[in-house]
Amino acid sequence: MIGQRIRVLVADDSLTVRRRLCAVLEEDPGIDVVGEAENGSQVIDLCRQFRPDVITMDMMMPVMSGLAATEYIMAHFPTPILIVSSSTNRGELFKTYEALAAGAIDVLEKPDGDADDWDQRFRSTVKLVSRIKVITHPRARLGNLSPPQPTAAPVYKGTAQPCRVVGIGASTGGPAAIVDVLRGLPTSFSLPILLVLHIGNPFAAAFAEWLDGQTPRHVSYARGGEAVASAAGRVLMAPPDRHMEVAGGHIRLTSAPERHSCRPSVDVLFESMARDYGSAAAACLLTGMGRDGASGLLEIRRAGGHTVAQDEATSVIFGMPREAVAMGAAQRVLPIAEIGPALAALAPSRNAEPGKT
């Protein structure tokens, strides 16, 4: 992309919004708006015609929705998609999560008024999304660059204990990866699962409820003070804008400063698991941009726990997992389809099946 203008297709059923988005993008000499679409069907036609570097996609459009267009584009001519939406009710948020699970890269709220900071954030996000093609297909675009291989990390604590808790961290590309991991667990899986996903407000509000409907496993936002052991076989997710950590076998939620510009932070969770559970902890770090979670995963490995990172080939962005692998935090680097079964092997055998009732 160096030396080339980023070619963007803007999709929104509102002419006013389209004009605003186009004007904001065209203020940057490195961005070229190649087309505008007012419904999902037009998005598909224009994407096929112009092959843009990025599509900004509204979810609620006539003729064909943004979700349907996203599913079609990702199946037939994959293109980085940034959802730009003002949808915050439950049903519309669910469509946003479905689009993210179908391959859309990120989501940004629509502008409210003439906020210059939003304009800059929009342009920056479009540029970031445009580079994800390189990260997603590194072997085709980066020549002989090899992914890092797992390296030895010192284990400082003694004999491994039976696993008592699993942590999962994810960012960009995370919704689909999380669903794959949870679906890869048997209904008899009896360990509590603690989950941190980077997803911006206000779009995080209903994610736990949506995820609850994707697998037989109960998913809910964590509550401060609840016992981790009481969540056997269930998923407790960090609430929006709160760090989640474990202390004395109980959940603690805080508004402490961001880590790696993130709250909730995967590192905060994983580091607390290493302190509280030691070798009885297991964690996996999934697709995502940046480095959040890598040092926390290393702390779990140093404590004698089990650690897994998602591999490059199945990551939307091999950023967070790459950092973990490079520092020797990951005992195993696995494709997404193998992570659920790998975690399942850590759980004690149970006859009861704690799926939804």
By the 10 Å C-beta count (0-12 exposed, 13-18 middle, 19+ buried), 121 is classed as middle
Helix, coil or strand: residue 220:
strand
Distances (CA, A) of 183 to 63, 104, 180, 212, 231: 32, 20, 5, 11, 18
Find, among 44, 40, 47, 37, the residue nearest to 17 by Cα: 37
Answer yes or no: 292 catalytic: yes
Out of 65, 85, 171, 279, the active site residue is 171
Out of 212, 292, 295, 311, the active site residue is 292
Q: How far apart are CA 177 and CA 183, in angstroms?
A: 10
Find, among 210, 272, 273, 263, the residue nearest to 239 by Cα: 263
**Cα end-to-end span (Å), the chain:** 51
Out of 85, 198, 243, 306, the active site residue is 198
Q: Which amino acid is at 4?
A: Q
Find, among 33, 37, 42, 31, the residue nearest to 15 by Cα: 37
Residue 319 CA, distance from chain mean position: 11
> What sign for the dihedral angle of Cα 92, 74, 100, 184?
positive
Answer yes or no: 218 catalytic: no
Answer yes or no: 124 catalytic: no
Inter-residue contact 306 to 296 (CB < 8 Å): no
In DSSP terms, 219 is beta-bridged to: 235
Q: How far apart are CA 48 and CA 137, in angstroms?
A: 20
Helices (H) and strands (E) counted in the chain, each on its own, are 13, 14
Q: How far apart are CA 322 and CA 244, in angstroms?
A: 23
> What sign for the dihedral angle of Cα 296, 299, 304, 309?
positive
Looking up tokens 């508004």, which residue turns up? 255
Residues tagged active-site: 171, 198, 292
